[in-house]
Amino acid sequence: MDFSSYSLRLLLIIAFSSAKETLAGRSEVGHDILAQQEADQVVRLPGQPWVDFKQYAGYVNVNETHGRALFYWFFQATQNPQEKPILLWLNGGPGCSSIGGETLELGPFFPEKGSKPKLKFNPYTWNKAANLLFVESPFGVGFSYTNTSTDFGELGDKITTKDSYMFLINWFRRFPQFKSHEFYIAGESYAGHYAPELSEAILDHNKNVSKEDYINLKGFLIGNAALDDETDTKGMIDYAWHHALISDRLYQDMKSKCNSKQSAGDCFFAINDFYGAYDEIMDMYSLYTPKCVQTKITTTTTTTTKRRRNDLHFFSQLYGLEKKASRASYDPCAPDYAETYLNRPDVQQALHANLTKIPYPWTRCSQEIQAWHDAPTSVLPTIEKLIAGGLRIWIYSGDTDGRLPVTSTRYTLRKLGLKITEDWTPWYSDQQVVAGWTTVYEGLNFVTVRGAGHKVPMFAPKRALQLVQHFLDNKQLPHAPF
């Protein structure tokens, strides 16, 4: 068969498959809703490689009175999307974009360096395992916005959860063919708050909502997660000392000065010294990888002093210090490529983004969020409630992250006091490599990912895909080489 004949046959197969999907969709979805979906469909992005799955992007209103709308990007699964679950991915911060998670960690497309826009396909994209949904939350993050400036005075966990829940209700109304699918939440860092809190909201609302608005939530997966202020802080300090990153004197200063709100002033200076110790090496969020070295200063690049100041967020929760969003960079220069790409007018037009002409550029972590007004010191009571509610809960930890390290997570899980049913067992990603360790508790699975930093899908993409696939399938990770 010559190339032209093959191409024609391929086009006919694709057209036939698309027609079948459209006809099937029309049996479930009304004409107006189909028109909305078609308006959100992303036909092709600048520099995008060819793919045979559909993608959609646009805005979903969450509060019409205040003019709040959240931006989403949705990728159907690479195969059999009608049979796969929906997985919502949330980045942390607070104030960091989940679209950043798409372009740097687990989505299908990663921007590359160059004057012309170019995307490379991620062979370990998570839409091989699920229909993949990203939302920029809360408003003020990425392309999401509010038309009521006083809303920023209310920003915190509560309003973020409320808006995220309304986003899901309205998104499923726009895509009702997916409402019966199993639904899962995944995320990292401050998503240790977002995912349990949103899960709780869904479970509570599901008791009273109509069949139309019932969300088929089955569980959540969170990595290097902020879960409990006390153990997060204790683990971060101990991890740094055990990895020979801080001196004995600084270790003792942190232990003695950061143990009560009364010592907030002394603690602030100790914390500044603590972060200064990391300036001598590479990246606090990934201890053994290089930093990006460029002459150009980008929106995500900060001075040493500013980075230390901004990264006090979690300590601020403990000691009442000023709250700032974390804006640290990760793998050498990929974040810069993502920001350059997503600020292109032709890219925004293809994504149906920035329709209101937001007066600031897209950044991975918002410069607009300067305060965070409510956050519980611990989400463990929420997790206990969700365990009792029968949700599948996996918590994973890349073991080279110094910011929310594996040490913190282990202290936190010990605090839960759950019975261990399988203790500290290695898991494998191929015939020889130990990918990490697992501990199975009653109601919760804990997984470490060896050699991965804070953003596990970025640093260990193959193992991250294996992890999420086993989570969704509710199967144990392999405990022997295969």
Cα-based angle 376, 328, 336 (whole degrees, multiple of 5): 135
Q: Are 89 and 130 in contact (CB under 8 A)?
A: no
User: Is residue 471 within 8 Å of 223, Cβ to Cβ?
Assistant: no
Q: Three-class SS of residue 332?
A: coil
Among 72, 96, 100, 97, residue whose Cα is nearest residue 86: 72
d(CA 328, CA 365): 9
Task: Tell me, yes or no, if 266 is annotated catalytic.
Answer: no
Angle at 396 between CA 376 and CA 168, to 5 degrees: 60
For residue 290, give the nearest of 333, 338, 354 by alpha carbon.
333
Cα–Cα dist 88/74, whole Å: 9
Give me the catalytic one of 228, 401, 408, 429: 401
Tokens describing residue 445: 């699975």
Catalytic residue among 181, 313, 454, 470: 454
Beta pairing partners, 56: 41, 74
Q: Which residues contact 315 (CB under 8 A, 6 or more apart)?
A: 233, 258, 267, 271, 321
Closest CA to 72 of 53, 59, 54: 59
CA gap 276, 279 in Å, rounded: 5
The span from the CA of 125 to the CA of 258, in Å, is: 41
**Helix, strand and coil percent figures for the chain, each rounded to 5:** 40, 15, 40
The token pair that represents 443 in the structure block: 């109601």
Q: How far is CA 447 from the centre of its chain?
A: 17
Q: Is 193 a catalytic residue?
A: no
Instruction: Encode burial over 370-404: b for 16+ CB neighbours within 10 A, e otherwise.
Output: eebeebbebbbebbbebbeeebbbbbbbbbbbbbb
* Relative orientation angle of helices 191-206 and 157-174, to the nearest 10 degrees: 60
Write down the catalytic residue from 164, 189, 199, 408. 189
Q: Tokens for 43, please give them.
A: 């036909």
Report, as residue numbers or ranges, the catalytic residues. Answer: 189, 401, 454
